[in-house]
């Protein structure tokens, strides 16, 4: 599909790595597309992700299936959306086979299409503050519980895309660090980011 100056193709389930860490790396450079009834298409390039793997105390599925985390157990490519600290919605992509609770948190996007609408939803005009941080990007794209559990390879409201003209992001451009804001398993190197991007959420020290 054509979105602004960009030519976007939807990623199929076959194209998505099933492995959690592989998916977290793969998603760097790909595109989150949100289709809203009134605002139309909004899109942003993924510049930062975090992996939440099996056996990881920081993963919401660590203690088994609950009403909140059930979407983490869907087959890879589904949305897991939950609210953190009462106000901030978090968008994750489920990973692994059905029945395995793990996923990838989308932490930051670079604005591509629909910045006017994003600015309205966020209450700020500054491009750098529209999508930098998981709660901010969810607010800008109007992502909430209503989208929890949807199939990102099928649903028209929210999906993952790739720019038709671009090759996959080279591994050399992807940095690795510890994850942000955790109290459990905080040491694991499971945060991935596009080196040199101005749209990352972490402190400078973690973005080198």
Partner DNA sequence: GTATGGATGTTCT
Partner DNA sequence: GAACATCCATACT
Residues that bind DNA (CB under 7 A): 50, 52, 58-60, 63, 66-69, 72, 80, 82-88, 90, 92, 103, 105, 122, 129, 133-136, 139, 179-184, 201, 203-205
Nearer to DNA, 9 or 125 (CB): 125
Measured CA to CA, the distance from residue 57 to residue 170 in angstroms comes to 30
68: exposed, middle or buried (Cβ count in 10 Å: 0-12, 13-18, 19+): middle
Nearer to DNA, 8 or 115 (CB): 115
Nearer to DNA, 67 or 171 (CB): 67
In Å, how far from its chain's centre is CA 94?
Answer: 10
Nearer to DNA, 7 or 18 (CB): 18
Q: How far is the CB of 202 from DNA (least distance, A)?
A: 8
Q: How far is the CB of 16 from DNA (least distance, A)?
A: 17
Specify the long-range contacts of residues 55-63, CB closer than 8 Å, at least 24 apart.
56/102, 56/185, 56/188, 56/190, 57/184, 57/185, 58/179, 58/182, 58/184, 58/185, 58/186, 58/188, 59/101, 59/102, 59/103, 60/101, 61/101, 61/102
Nearer to DNA, 6 or 103 (CB): 103
Q: How far is the CB of 164 from DNA (least distance, A)?
A: 29
Closest CA to 152 of 44, 33, 45: 33
Q: How far is the CB of 101 from DNA (least distance, A)?
A: 9
Q: How far is the CB of 178 from DNA (least distance, A)?
A: 11
């Amino acid at each position: 599909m054509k979105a602004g100056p960009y030519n976007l193709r939807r990623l199929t389930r076959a194209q998505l790595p099933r492995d959690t860490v592989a998916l977290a790396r793969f998603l760097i450079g790909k595109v989150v597309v949100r289709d809203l009834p009134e605002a139309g298409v909004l899109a942003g390039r993924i510049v930062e992700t975090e992996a939440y793997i099996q056996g990881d105390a920081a993963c919401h599925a660590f203690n088994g299936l609950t009403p909140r985390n059930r979407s983490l157990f869907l087959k890879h490519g589904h949305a897991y959306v939950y609210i953190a600290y009462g106000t901030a919605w978090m968008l994750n992509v489920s990973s692994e086979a059905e029945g395995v609770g793990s996923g990838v948190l989308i932490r930051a996007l670079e604005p591509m299409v629909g910045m006017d609408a994003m600015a309205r939803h966020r209450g700020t005009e500054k491009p750098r503050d529209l999508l930098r941080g998981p709660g901010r990007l969810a607010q800008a794209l109007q992502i909430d519980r209503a989208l929890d559990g949807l199939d990102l390879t099928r649903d028209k409201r929210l999906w993952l895309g790739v720019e038709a003209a671009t090759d996959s992001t080279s591994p050399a451009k992807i940095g690795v660090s510890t994850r942000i804001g955790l109290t459990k398993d905080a040491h694991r190197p499971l945060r991935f980011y596009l080196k040199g991007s101005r749209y990352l959420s972490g402190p400078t020290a973690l973005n080198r």
